[in-house]
Amino acid sequence: IHYAAIAFDQPTDLRFRYRLEGYDSGWQQAGDRRFALYTGLPPGNYRFEVRATSRFGRESGDTRSLDIVVAPRWWQRPLVQWGGLLALLLVAVGLVRWRMGDLRAQRLALEQTVAQRTRELAAQRDELHRLNAELAALSTRDPLTGLANRRALLARLAEELAQAAAEQRSYSVVLCDLDHFKRINDSRGHAVGDQVLTQLGRLWARHLPAGALLGRYGGEEFLVLLPDHDGARAARLMEELMALLRGSR
């Protein structure tokens, strides 16, 4: 802002002071400088005032003023600012919703992966149980006849003999051997011999009393465990089983 004053005597000795209402806190001493410079004024209404002083220190009685309006830039307007704030808010909400959707998608994918892995582990567990059951069966069952093998027979025998002795109960063990079984293998073949062993085991197992155990001891030998059977009762049972075998021809 340039300003000047009229003086008929020594105009170069004039001194000035000014202020910008709304910006300056008080009068600014300018000396003999005849302009004021303001930069970066915030938007608003201002009034620029200036006074001159003679070389004798006498101040002019008039104060000249200039009203100044600094219009806001387009980005400083309230509507634009509120619009920008709203846009930022919408962007923030959009980002949050996108992130939440992404997290939900990740959680869903993780849940599906966990569910799939759980099913796989359950299938593996079931398969392991099945294999363990087969292994347990193989360790205690004769693979040809399906009866108890020697290992299972001896384990059961040791357990039940100790219990029978402690309770003073009768217990019988019958060892059976098929006579001339080698002739069947030699004349009819081993496949027929295997069928004979299998059919004998099935026939006798169906007619054994509850609690009894029939197993293949080895080759053509079978072992029958009979809890609560004395010698006479065990002999009668075996005669009945032999009669069933003779009648099955």
- State how far the Cα of 240 lies from the Cα of 248, in Å rounded to an integer: 12
Q: What is the distance, to the nearest Å, from the Cα of residue 237 to the centroid of all Cα atoms in its chain?
A: 62
- State how far the Cα of 63 lies from the Cα of 18, in Å rounded to an integer: 9
How would DSSP label each residue in 91-131?
A: HHHHHHHHHHHHHHHHHHHHHHHHHHHHHHHHHHHHHHHHH
220 is a catalytic site residue: yes
For the chain, how are helix, strand and coil distributed in percent, rounded to 5?
50, 20, 25
Give the Cβ contact number of residue 54 at 10 Å. 16
Catalytic residue, candidates 160, 167, 220, 240: 220
Residues marked active site are found at 220
